[in-house]
Chains A and B, each alone.
Chain A
Amino acid sequence: MNRLNQLPTLRINPSEKLTLSYQGKTFQGVAGDTVATALFAGGVRIFARSLKYHRPRGLYSLDGECSNTCMDVNGVPNVRTENTLLKNGMTIKAQNVVGSANLDWLAFIDKLDWMMPAGFYYKTMHKPAALWPMAMKRIRKAAGLGVISADYQMMGNYDECYLKAEVTVIGGGAAGMSAALAAAESGQRVVLLESRPFLGGCYDYRMTTGADGQPLYQRARELAAKVEQTPNIRVFKHASAVGSYTNNLITAFQVGGPDDVFTERYVEIRSESVIVATGCIERPLIFDNNERPGVMQVGCAHRLARTYGLLPGNEAVFSIGHDLGLEAAVDLFDLGLKINCIADAREDGQNPELLLALAERKIPLLKGWVATEAHGGKSVEKVTLATLDGGINRHFACDLLVASAGLTPVTGPFILAGAKMSFDNHTGYFLPTELPEKMFPAGRLTGVNDPAAIEASGRLAGLQAASAAGAELDAVVADAQSDLAALPGPERGCKLVTAPVKGRKSFICFDEDTTIKNINQAIKQGFDVPELIKRFTSAGTGPGQGGIPGHNLPLYVAKCTASTNTPIPTTTRPPMVPTFIATYAGYNHHMFKRTPMHHDQIDDGGIFRNIGVWQRARYFSEDFDCKEEILNVRNNVGMLDGSTLGKFRIHGPDALKALQRVYVSDMSKVKPGRIKYSAMCNDDGCVIDDGVVVKLGENDYYFTTSTGRAGQTVEWFRYHTRFDGWDFNMVNLTDAMGVINLSGPNARKVLGKVVDIDLSNEAFPFSGYQEFLIQNTIFVRAMRLGFVGELSYELHVPASYMKAVWDMLKEAGAEFGIRNFGVEAQNVLRMEKCHIILGQESEQRTNLLDVGLGFLWDRKKAEAKTVGAVALRQAEKDPDRLKLVGIRMEDDNRPARDGALIVDNRVRGYVATMRKSFTTGQAVGMALVESQLADIGTRLEIYEDECNGVRLYARVVKMPFYDPKGERMKS
């Protein structure tokens, strides 16, 4: 197909050739083409088959308002090829066809439309019930859009950005650009979003001149140059707004160009003010076969020629309801299109200059006429025109029917932002009656069509938006209002919805193959609200997001139901324009915290797992039972990186009061040089955290929390003291201090080689706390703890020195065979000692008493109003609570899994942790069971997932399983 290569309005570069493959052939396009226009240039007229009836579909809107040109592009189905810029080497496939788009073996379904009335999916083939699953499979196989492979991996880079602006303008047409320029005059930050790859909107392809004699396309380019040269306007082209939310949060996505590093980019703008200058789309004219290839909207035909250099046909008939149709006819005629007739649904009101231009070109115009049927199999061959009452018919041969009932504004951003919409009788538009705060309309969507008025309305909106965002522009706004008032106002719009047809093949929604007949069927079945009819018939629920039926459906329903209520548009939901889920996903940064020893532990063979926000070394070999790690701690010495532990300083005059409030113990008994182990409960007495507290000075304490609770601890203190007005301060030192847990019978010997303090049991006993310097440089807080049941030192060192201290201990311990142990080994070691981990031996409902920590609770500090104390007093009288017990399997070689249920004829508890203990040779663990099952010796029946009815058995035994007197950790 020859291009009109010399047109000044072109957005293609004919000298840069690009190719694509489709149906085994290579097609040639040029830079600037969309996939659809390149195929059109190559002679393709049928791009897809429709959802239900497999009717042929072709170019219609050129803006992706329907699924007519949805195709599989490079393995991605449902790509709107009208909006997708051509890239060299693309592979295109037709979808939802058996055969090809041109010859689809399922096209016969079109004849079976009588079998598929409105709502058939809900009503037929449901009885007998067994029939529906089979029918559903067949229907789904025959109907639908593209199919994506479950293994498909999305290619490309998906970017995201979060902008702040005083003014955001949605729409880069003349009004939008004027608005942006006006808003930018005040120096505010302005963001301009344009869904096409270039600015210009409806000016971009039009030769019509404005009042100053300048062609509109030139004016558009002039405005675009100004906008792009204005430093405080950020222009996002090929960026469609997809959401509009309260407080003027605008979301959009931008398609990346050849020079961009992203495939698509999610854009989120928090804006003070928003201008909606989205213009209008064409309102489809409904007549028989109104979606036959060869039928297209005015803008589609006009832009094909002016933007892409492609004449849309050879011989055309127009059926329009707006002056844009007449303007396009004149222009396309001048470019070489033969026009046999124009049917204008309006009896009067046409622009006299356009009428004169038509007469000069001898193009016949029938006023008050409309197309009633497009004839032809796979493309238009003939058109029937009729008077609006259908009384008189005439037939015209053609291969192109340019059809449009008029215009409808793109008001999605208003609707999403909560604007109240109403039908305007003068323009025939659905317009907002109450605008959301700091949102302003501009341009053609207000009904104006005069170029000067379009720009003036944009300027006014820009100034109003800037003013709303804080600029002092009252006088300028008043002037702009006067200027706009002096220009032509909103024009009277055509309100015709359907030609005089019965509607069996008159489609109100192309995406879902919904006809006027279907709407009538729904109304006859009692549906009288457009929202319900939309759902019952599925009109407007396809990929076009209601672009085609969005305006016509409520008007048609109002007409058919003789409703006296003002019609309102059906709902709009984000995304207003479909895009990839990958675009919403954006970056895939894995944000995890790592300890200072992370990389060293990798070097030492650490196998990491994500634990909350941290990555921790869980194992140090492929033996996930960790036998060697465990036995090395029991018999020798090991090192654990415990840096993830929560660490806090609390200080200030009321620090002790705050500790008394949240800890169950009497914290006034914390002695210098000693650690105090205690726990925190919530108001229900359920234990939420435990840790140790040391006293640094008067009303100055250092305490630890579990890893998982560290992020919430400050809030927890503040929340539970919020009414007291206490003066205390907290500092989260979790990341500041690395923690080394040095454990095992040789721990003292190893530490002794590194530090200069007396480590004897008398000088530094169990539960002792000391501060010292290593090599007079590294400050260390050291605690004698025994979580794993051995002689242990917990060394808190500045994070930047963690590696240095770790390496010193490693070097010092080499002669003893010191080695790392990970979180899993620690888990087994402490389980053997029956030291609990909250979250492992407890859950949401487990209180302090259930897990055997009641000894921590000081009942005498009533004045502290300890969190959870009231609930604990009640709970200690409750005999029906779960109780933590030690259990041993009858088969020591078969430990139950963590979380396995303890049952009889109902659930009686669950296994919290269980492992094969290499220290004792027994399969032991802890379980929470009903108190009736807690007696020593009680036989427990255990149910595991996928046990196939085979139960496991265990008995309640004494705790702990290892070193019951604690001699090893206290020695």
Chain B
Amino acid sequence: MSQIKRESPVHFGVSPKASAVRDNWTVALEYDDEGRGPWIVDLAYKIRWDLQDSNIGELAPCDLAVPAAPGQSVLSDGILINRMNRTQVSIWHLGADTPPLPEETGYTDTSESTVLISLFGPKVFQLAEKLSNLDFMDPAKAAPFLLQGPFCHVPCQIVTLQKAADGSGGFLLACSRGYGDSMVHAILEAGAEFGLRPAGESCGEGQGHPHKAIKSL
């Protein structure tokens, strides 16, 4: 029998320098020559849930209060909760733990539905504005916050984690898994002028940039 292995929809075209196997995923820890940023990291292996309920504002998934208004996010202990609309939130487990899906019927495991990537580093939002007209740096919003709209013409959920006036910072992007290849290709092409490189999960540890926010969760 073939070895059981999980496949990410993201293909960077290069093999990682260091990797680890978790829950049958091969997680890239580091790539050769990751450069000085910006970076793109494949987080397809992170657990994502969908929670829907007509009284969602009164629920406390993972012991966290659901953000009050659509577009708001809350990030705590590696759990990112994004209020999508009146009745729905997405819950992304960015930490190392892979908790079991709660038994309440409102939960659906949507980890396989989307590709999840992290983009962060210098000029990352200048890269983003080549592919989307969403306002990643909206001064009226405090990070983290959720944007729902097209990125490279594909409907996405995007969470700005950190932003600075010079266009640096970081965000997470989730789109339909099927678009993974096209999306990564488009991002790498658009990011070439900024030196965008694939990076592993360990990238940026201790450097104080946004990916640390993801890594340390």
Contacts and interface: CB of A to CB of B under 8 A. Distances in A.
B88 A729 contact: yes
A803 B7 contact: yes
B1 A591 contact: no
B34 interface: no
B129 A594 contact: no
A725 B52 CA distance: 15
Interface stretch (A154-162, A208-216, A373-381): A154-162
Given A589-B189, A729-B106, A735 B177 contact: yes
Given A729-B88, A777-B24, A799-B112, A163 B179 contact: no
Given A651-B105, A729-B88, A729-B106, A189 B137 contact: yes
Interface string A801-835: 11110011001000000000000000000000000
A962 to B, nearest CB: 33
Nearest to A801: B6
Interface in A404-427: none
B177 A799 contact: yes
A804 B177 contact: no
B59 interface: no
Contacts of A652: 52, 54, 105-106
Contact of A590 (B44, B54, B182): B182
A268 B190 CA distance: 16
Interface string B150-179: 001110000000000110000000001111
A591 B183 contact: yes
B2 interface: yes
B154 A161 contact: no
A775 interface: yes
Given A270-B133, A649-B108, A735-B113, A775 B178 contact: no
B111 to A, nearest CB: 8
B36 interface: no
A651 B103 CA distance: 13
Nearest to B132: A162
A775 B110 contact: no
B82 interface: no
Nearest to A730: B52
Given A261-B193, A589-B189, A731-B108, A811 B2 contact: yes
Nearest to A599: B11
Between B24, B139, B153, B177, the greatest number of chain A beta carbons within 10 A of the residue's beta carbon is seen for B177
6 cross-chain pairs, A with B, having the tightest CB-CB distances, nearest first: A593-B178, A729-B52, A162-B133, A800-B6, A736-B112, A735-B177
B32 interface: no
A800 B182 contact: no
B205 interface: no
Interface string B79-102: 000000001100000000000000
B153 A737 contact: no
Contact of A731 (B52, B54, B138, B182): B52
A188 interface: yes
A798 B4 CA distance: 12
B112 A731 contact: no
Given A729-B87, A737-B112, A800-B44, A808 B152 contact: no
B5 interface: yes
Contact of B176 (A590, A593, A599, A731): A593
Given A590-B182, A775-B4, A799-B112, A161 B130 contact: yes
Contact of B2 (A268, A644, A729, A807): A807
Contact of A591 (B2, B50, B87, B182): B182
Contacts of A188: 139
B54 A804 contact: no
A735 B114 contact: yes
A133 interface: no
A159 B137 CA distance: 21
Given A593-B182, A614-B178, 8 more contacts: A162-B133, A261-B192, A593-B179, A594-B181, A594-B182, A598-B181, A801-B7, A807-B2
Contacts, number: 146
Contact of B4 (A598, A614, A801): A801
A188 B112 CA distance: 40
Given A159-B130, A736-B113, A777-B4, A800 B25 contact: yes
A4 to B, nearest CB: 37
A697 interface: yes
B53 interface: yes
A733 B108 CA distance: 9
A287 to B, nearest CB: 48
Nearest to B24: A777
Contacts of A811: 1-2
Contacts of A161: 126, 129-130
Interface residues of B, number: 55
Given A188-B139, A231-B165, A803-B7, A589 B152 contact: yes
Contact of B137 (A164, A261, A727, A733): A164
Nearest to B3: A804
Interface string A148-188: 00000000000111111010000000000000000000011
A294 B63 CA distance: 80
Contacts of A599: 11
A683 to B, nearest CB: 26
A548 to B, nearest CB: 35
B58 interface: no
Given A590-B182, A777-B24, A778-B4, A735 B176 contact: yes
A213 B137 CA distance: 42
20 contacts: A160-B130, A162-B130, A162-B133, A164-B138, A166-B139, A587-B186, A587-B190, A594-B178, A596-B177, A649-B108, A651-B108, A652-B105, A652-B106, A731-B110, A735-B178, A736-B177, A754-B1, A800-B8, A811-B1, A811-B2
Interface string B1-31: 1111111110100000000000011000000
Contacts of A166: 139
Contact of A808 (B2, B24, B113, B177): B2
Interface string B120-146: 000000100110110101110000000
Nearest to A733: B113
B177 A589 contact: no
A592 interface: yes
Interface string B182-212: 1101100110110000000000000000000
B9 A589 contact: no
A418 B132 CA distance: 27
B152 A162 contact: no
A700 interface: yes
A587 B127 CA distance: 13
A799 B182 contact: no
Contact of B110 (A268, A730, A733): A733
B17 to A, nearest CB: 22
A592 B24 CA distance: 27
Nearest to A732: B113
Contacts of A83: none
Contacts of B87: 729
Contacts of A187: 139
Nearest to A649: B108
A189 B139 CA distance: 9
Contacts of B154: 591
Nearest to A643: B178
Contacts of B110: 731, 733, 736
B178 A591 contact: no
A189 B165 CA distance: 9
Nearest to A811: B2
A498 interface: no
A595 interface: yes
Contacts of B114: 735
A802 B7 CA distance: 8
A164 B137 CA distance: 8
A594 B8 CA distance: 12
Contact of A697 (B1, B50, B105): B105
Contacts of A614: 178
A734 interface: yes
A515 interface: no
